[in-house]
Amino acid sequence: MGEPEHIRSTYNDIHNIIRGTSDKIASEFKPDMFIAIGGGGFFPARVLRTFLKDPSTKTNIPIQAIGLSLYESLPGTTVEQLNGEVVRTQWLGPDPGKRLLGRRALIIDEVDDTRKTLQYALSELQKDVEAELQLLPESERDSKRTKFAVFVVHNKLKPKLGKLPPNIPYFAGAEVEDVWLDYPWEVIDIEEHDRLAKEDKERKNITVEEH
């Protein structure tokens, strides 16, 4: 079996994809908190913050960080295991539910591949919210329940193993085939990465012109 096709994304590619989706997120969801899934969601969250402000205070949107890893990639780990497949490696600080109550939280990752990570992230965050809501009088719970949405830079067009409820707004900066994406923050030699990305683009343009 051959190597899967790789597509190299540059920092500028990603910046422009995020810029292109920011107006839609601002008008359709209006987040007042970002929850970045580490490590791939960190850089996109910071870039998105350049284009969005908190809708009521007009200030910068706070970025919270969580870490989830597919369990197979962490042999021998002692971190908490979730349903045998995904583990929390980092979570919101103490009282996570309190931080979330009443907020409009946008969960951010770089890529939606099998969707397992997004499903676990959302369901775990919702559990924290529900636990916190139990401490409030029933009449206040609905108004304080956190609204969640999801933003990914790339969504791979493929059958998904994880599911997101249909009422959760979902924003993808770009839809891609089921290829492997090489992100700039993963490479050691960024000049070489950018040079190869440029070559790939030129080659693709030539192929398109030939057809």
Catalytic machinery residues: 113
Q: How far is the CB of 111 from ligand 5GP (least distance, A)?
A: 5
- 90 counts as binding ligand 5GP under rule CB under 6 A: no
Let me know: does 79 contact 52? Beta carbons within 8 Å: no
What's the closest the beta carbon of residue 209 comes to ligand 5GP, in angstroms? 27
Q: How far apart are CA 201 and CA 11, in angstroms?
A: 15
Q: Which of 32, 112, 124, 132 binds ligand 5GP (CB under 6 A)?
A: 112
Asked if 111 is part of the footprint of ligand 5GP (rule: CB under 6 A), the reply reads yes
Integer-rounded Cα radius of gyration of the chain: 19
**Please, what sign has the CA dihedral across residues 204, 208, 210, 211?**
positive
Tally of CA atoms within 13 A in the half-sphere of 91 that contains its CB: 17
Stretch touching ligand 5GP by CB under 6 A, among 56-64, 87-95, 178-186, 200-208:
178-186
Tell me if 181 contacts ligand 5GP by CB under 6 A: yes
**Per rule CB under 6 A, is residue 178 in the interface with ligand 5GP?**
no
Binding piece for ligand 5GP, criterion CB under 6 A, among 49-57, 111-119, 124-132, 139-147: 111-119
Taking the complex as a whole, the smallest distance from the CB of residue 4 to ligand 5GP amounts, in Å, to 9
Per the listing, tokens 């030129």 go with: 202
Note the Cα 1 to chain centre separation in Å. Answer: 30
**Measured in whole angstroms, how far is the alpha carbon of residue 146 from the centre of its chain?**
17
Is residue 33 close enough to count as binding ligand 5GP by CB under 6 A?
A: no
The distance from CA 96 to its chain's CA centroid, rounded to whole angstroms, is 19
Return phi, psi of residue 195, to 5°. Answer: -65, -45
Residues in binding contact with ligand 5GP, number by CB under 6 A:
14
The residues binding ligand 5GP (CB under 6 A) are 40, 70, 109, 111-117, 180-181, 183, 186
